[in-house]
């Protein structure tokens, strides 16, 4: 086991003992994601059963911050992060959303679906591949349309190919990163809380189990620092906002004030067309534009 793993292991065992000194697993390693306990003897026998997590992922300037068990790191970690890396590359315009075929006047043309700031999705026809006759015909169709002036009046149908990534999985990866980030800051007393069960279930089962989509939002911001913000008012919106890369993820507040979790509150608000947004370093209520985050920014530190 490497130096930083040993340091994190000692720190997490100590952090658990501090909060639950009389628990039968005091002195054991408790995985912050699945909450399974592993004895020191088992770790000595198989040091690979715990592994370092970069939080956020290395692609967004993450650093070795916490240890999780091998299963959480391999299954949830690697599988989800593949989707996240792909989603980020698509958002930056470096990779297509997907590929497929455009069926046009009896022709079948390979196309790339790309994100476009104006129209949402743009289909790029690749004239460099496909059947030579089709290439010549599509060139002529475009040339004729251009010569006639105005918008080329060409209609066809698009059949997308199989998607190799999913935005839902990328968002679960973001949620997982935010959860581990919050653990690094608030420790075991935060994550061992019934209100966090829904987050753990979502991460382990790779599906949004009742977490509204509005709890993961894109950020329009010049500031790029990863951080945690405790949203304290209004009371109904009390939560923890975790800013990572270009997204903000909302988790239950670190200290329980209402018995109702943030996710049920926002689900109810979403039905009335309300929700969160993160604009220029502030968290706002979308319909009223009211700024409600009390910015108690704290940098991330280990548990
Ligand atoms: Zn685990």
Going from the first residue of the chain to its last (303 residues), give the mean pLDDT of each consecutive group of 10, the final group possibly shorter: 90 92 92 94 94 75 84 82 87 85 82 79 75 77 77 74 85 92 90 89 82 79 75 76 85 72 74 72 66 49 39
Beta-carbon contacts of 81 under 8 Å, excluding residues fewer than 6 positions away, are: 57, 173
The alpha carbon of 116 is separated from its chain's Cα centroid by a whole number of angstroms, namely: 21
For 239, residues 6+ apart whose C-beta sits below 8 A from its C-beta are 231, 250, 251, 252, 253, 262
- Helix (H) or strand (E) holding 17, with range, is helix 3-19
- For the chain, the first-to-last Cα distance in angstroms comes to 20
- Please give all residues whose CB falls under 5 A of ion ligand 1, grouped by chain where several chains appear: 31, 33-34, 69, 72
Distance 278 CA to ligand 1 centre (A): 31
Strand ranges in 92-215 using DSSP code E only, listed in sequence order: 98-104, 107-116, 120-125, 157-160
Each residue of 16-44: pLDDT tens digit?
999 999 999 999 999 999 999 999 999 99
- The DSSP letter of residue 146 is H
Paired with 103 in beta bridges are 108, 157
Q: Measure 167 CA to ligand 1 centroid, in angstroms.
A: 24
DSSP codes joined into one string, 280-299: TTEEEETTT--B------B-
CA of 127 to the centre of ligand 1 (A): 48
Closest C-alpha to 216, from 252, 255, 182, 242? 242
Which residues share a beta bridge with 104?
A: 107
Q: What is the pTM assigned to this prediction?
A: 0.80
Task: State in Å: Cα 249 to ligand 1 middle.
Answer: 21
35 Ramachandran zone, left/alpha/beta (phi>0; psi -120 to 50): left
Cα of 116 vs centre of ligand 1, distance in Å, is: 39
Give the tens place of pLDDT for each residue, 61-118.
Answer: 677 889 999 999 887 777 888 898 888 888 888 888 888 888 877 788 888 888 777 7
């Amino acid at each position: 086991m490497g130096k930083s793993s040993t340091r994190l292991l000692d720190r997490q065992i100590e952090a658990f003992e501090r909060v639950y000194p009389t628990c039968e697993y005091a002195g054991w390693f408790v995985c912050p994601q699945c909450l399974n306990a592993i004895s020191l003897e088992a770790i000595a026998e198989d040091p690979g059963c715990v592994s370092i997590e970069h939080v956020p992922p290395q692609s967004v300037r993450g650093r070795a911050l916490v240890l999780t068990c091998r299963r959480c790191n391999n299954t949830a970690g690697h599988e989800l992060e593949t989707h996240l890396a792909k989603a980020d590359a698509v958002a930056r315009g470096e990779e297509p959303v997907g590929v497929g075929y455009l069926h046009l006047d009896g022709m079948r043309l390979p196309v790339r679906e790309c994100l476009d700031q104006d129209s949402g999705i743009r289909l790029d026809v690749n004239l460099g591949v496909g059947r030579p006759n089709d290439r010549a015909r599509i060139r002529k169709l475009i040339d004729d349309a251009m010569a006639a002036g105005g918008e080329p009046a060409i209609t066809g149908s698009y059949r997308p190919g199989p998607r190799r990534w999913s935005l839902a999985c990328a968002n679960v990866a973001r949620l997982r990163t935010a959860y581990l980030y919050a653990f690094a800051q608030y420790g075991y007393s935060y994550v061992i809380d019934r209100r966090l069960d829904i987050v753990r279930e979502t991460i382990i089962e790779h599906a949004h189990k009742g977490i509204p989509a509005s709890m993961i939002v894109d950020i329009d911001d010049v500031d790029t620092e990863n951080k945690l913000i405790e949203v304290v008012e209004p009371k109904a919106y009390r939560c923890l906002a975790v800013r990572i890369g270009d997204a903000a993820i909302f988790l239950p507040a670190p200290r329980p004030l209402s018995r109702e979790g943030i996710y049920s509150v926002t689900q109810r608000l979403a039905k009335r067309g309300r929700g969160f947004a993160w604009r220029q370093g502030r968290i706002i209520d979308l319909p009223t534009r009211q700024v409600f985050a009390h910015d108690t920014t704290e940098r991330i530190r280990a548990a």
